[in-house]
Structure 1
Amino acid sequence: MAEQNRAVTAYAPASMGNVSVGFDLLGAALSPIDGSLLGDRVSVSRAQSDKMSFEAFGAYADVLPQNPQDNIVLQAAEAFFAKSGLAPEPLALKLEKNLPVGSGLGSSASSVVAACAALNRFYEDALEPKALLQLMGELEGRISGSIHYDNVAPSYLGGLQLMMADFARKLPSFQQWYWVTAYSGISLSTAKMRALLPEAYDKATSIAFGQNLAVFVDACHRQDEQQALSVLKDELAEPYRAPHIPGFLAAKAALEELGASAVGISGSGPTLFAVCRDQASAERALAYLNQCYLANARGFAHICRLADEGVQYQSEKL
């Protein structure tokens, strides 16, 4: 049973789904090197009344559903009680929405992970990690249109995650890489971007996808960055999505000329990422993206490393 006068806050970092080479099977958690927050926070405490309460604030709270009952954080609380078998009780839930919706940075996944992790910690880890990750995936599926784990797993567990049949496994990453990410400022529906993809792929494309992912995983374990970079490309989604992301193709060409070793779409876009092997290349990429890729004041760009820790907790007495 949770303490009466306690609040638990969970921070879930932004994430890149697919990472080009691993459609729905590979994801990475992000952490800006300047220390800025790139992820959502959810706080859980007992309500002061006999009703569940919910509050949303933060830079992107204005784009959330106007009806609080439609917010995934409240849905997460309902689903958590159902899955854990705990008796529902009125809670005070607060969401600090720091990620833009429809950005390709795992915005919904970040809210889901932060909510589920905070609830689970508030109730003294009532769900073990596999069950909690499954719950996160199910909730993410309500928003994106299908259950997939390549955003929730890295946001929850950290680092570069490979999806397994029933869990996820952290891959050895290349610590020297900088991941430069840029959100243009426009919003793209994950469900609509998934609808652009064909229902079936030809044999040659399927073989190329499987081979590239296998080679990338092998290269991660052997720490062969040249081989990893040689297959860090998207055979399945980018050919269909790139034309629908304003400025992506031009930015990809420019970033490669500026020294980026690989450029891809983060999730469904419009956020893109560039892998740079040194900070000087990363700074050049950042300068270009700030000047040429951001479409409005809501866009941003960051030089990131992988967030190895994943979700982070803070507990305090009220």
Structure 2
Amino acid sequence: MSASIKVFAPATVANVVCGYDVLGFAVNEPGDEVIMKLTEGSGIRITKITGDEGRLPLDPQKNTVSASVQHYLNHIGKPDVGVEIELHKKMPIGSGLGSSSASTVAGLFAVNTLFDNLLTNKELVPFAMKGEELACGYGHADNVAPALLGGFVLIRSYQPLDIISLPHPDDLYAAIVYPEVDVPTKDARQMIRSKVLLKDAVTQWGNVAGLVSGLFMKDYDLIGRSMTDILVEPTRSILIPDFYKLRSLAMKTGATGFGISGSGPSVFALTKDEATARAITQKLQQHLKGIGINSLSFVSEVNKKGPVILD
């Protein structure tokens, strides 16, 4: 059992437009890093957090990383083990890219590795969901499952938890732009309607099935026309500056499909190649700059590995 480890875990795009709380995929960048050490004492200590501008709690009961690690230690029968954690945020908080998820997954992967991989990555998902519950009040898996498993993931059921890894076209790229405006996940969730019309639900089911089929068949046209959301996007798009203009620009520049990443404000496009993805981020950032909004952009293939140990 080694005593110290450094782990990177990736950001994720949850929902993938039509799959609210049931679809997500991982990207190569951005992400978060955790350094974890087993110590002689007892209990979990967070010794350092960087990149958060002082926004995240050092209290181990309130931080998603330490809280999830504690659940894991309780499960393996070592609740009082001494653990020191450093968290290095390499991605924006509240971006809609699974910021809390990346931190939590890095911590769980680290502690599981230090204890000789007692659980598989898939078995770590429920522990990571505890972190999401702390972060936004609801333990959803559409960020943590792809962050742990890599690739595209479908959560077929929450009770019981049933997670399915999906194939995808090898040359699929994501173009992500994060407009620097504040959209707290809790607030964004509360805006969503709790009741929907049956005809709208039928449309949404068709799109989710179409998107999953398109991924299996590697059919870009089917993927693109299935990336339509009539339940959640109309409400959440209000919080994102010029959302429909951004979508129009992305589609004109060659996007296969476009939508909100998680609860926003980040938006993303899927493309057939890296050059198109870079052209899209450039156009979107240019437009946002024109209306006085700073932004960050990321271009990435779909991450196939999930969390990794860093040297």
TM-score (norm 1): 0.89
CA contact (8 A) 1:56 1:97 kept: no
Deviates more, 1:164-173 or 1:95-104: 164-173
Of residues 8, 13, 16, the one that matches 2:13 is 16
**CA displacement at 1:106 relative to structure 2:** 0.2
Counterpart position of 2:67: 75
Mapped to 2, the partners of 1:215 and 1:103 lie a distance apart of: 27
Deviates more, 1:78-87 or 1:265-274: 78-87
Deviates more, 1:198-207 or 1:125-134: 125-134
Mapped to 2, the partners of 1:127 and 1:86 lie a distance apart of: 14
- The answer to whether residue 254 in structure 2 is matched with residue 259 in structure 1 is yes
Counterpart position of 1:46: 38
**CA displacement at 1:51 relative to structure 2:** 5.8
Q: Residue type matched to 1:311 in 2? A: P
Of residues 232, 235, 240, the one that matches 1:240 is 235
Q: Residue type matched to 1:174 in 2? A: P
Counterpart position of 2:193: 198
Mapped to 2, the partners of 1:106 and 1:178 lie a distance apart of: 18
Q: Which runs of 4+ in 1 moved over 6 A?
A: none
Unmatched 5+ stretches in structure 2? none
Counterpart position of 2:151: 159
**CA displacement at 1:72 relative to structure 2:** 1.7
Q: Secondary structure at the match of 2:264?
A: coil
Q: Secondary structure at the match of 1:181?
A: strand
**CA displacement at 1:50 relative to structure 2:** 5.4
What's the C-alpha RMSD, in Å, of the aligned pairs?
Answer: 2.0
Of residues 269, 288, 297, the one that matches 1:293 is 288
Mapped to 2, the partners of 1:212 and 1:154 lie a distance apart of: 20
Counterpart position of 2:141: 149
Q: Residue type matched to 1:27 in 2? A: G
Q: Secondary structure at the match of 1:62?
A: coil
Mapped to 1, the partners of 2:163 and 2:296 lie a distance apart of: 30
Counterpart position of 2:181: 186
Quickly say closer, same or farther: Cα 1:46–1:278, change in 2 above 3 A: closer
CA contact (8 A) 1:289 1:301 kept: no
Q: Deviations over 1:109-148 (max 9, x none)?
A: 1111111111111111233444311111122122122121
Q: Secondary structure at the match of 2:176?
A: strand
Quickly say closer, same or farther: Cα 1:275–1:314, change in 2 above 3 A: closer
Of residues 90, 103, 106, the one that matches 2:82 is 90
Identity among equivalent pairs (%): 28
Of residues 21, 24, 28, the one that matches 1:27 is 24
Quickly say closer, same or farther: Cα 1:227–1:52, change in 2 above 3 A: closer
Mapped to 2, the partners of 1:214 and 1:50 lie a distance apart of: 48
Counterpart position of 1:307: 303
Mapped to 1, the partners of 2:165 and 2:74 lie a distance apart of: 29
Q: Secondary structure at the match of 1:94?
A: strand
Question: How many aligned positions are there?
Answer: 306
Q: Deviations over 1:4-45 (max 9, x none)?
A: xx212221100010010211110000124xxxxx11111211
Q: Deviations over 1:279-300 (max 9, x none)?
A: 3322321212232236666x31
- The answer to whether residue 274 in structure 2 is matched with residue 282 in structure 1 is no
Quickly say closer, same or farther: Cα 1:87–1:279, change in 2 above 3 A: closer
Counterpart position of 1:108: 100
Mapped to 2, the partners of 1:55 and 1:250 lie a distance apart of: 44
Unmatched 5+ stretches in structure 1? 33-37
Deviates more, 1:276-285 or 1:192-201: 276-285
TM-score (norm 2): 0.91
Mapped to 1, the partners of 2:255 and 2:280 lie a distance apart of: 7
Counterpart position of 1:35: none
CA contact (8 A) 1:11 1:39 kept: yes
**CA displacement at 1:211 relative to structure 2:** 1.0
**CA displacement at 1:67 relative to structure 2:** 4.7
Q: Secondary structure at the match of 2:251?
A: helix
**CA displacement at 1:108 relative to structure 2:** 0.5
Q: Secondary structure at the match of 1:27?
A: strand
Quickly say closer, same or farther: Cα 1:204–1:283, change in 2 above 3 A: same
Q: Residue type matched to 2:217 in 1? A: R
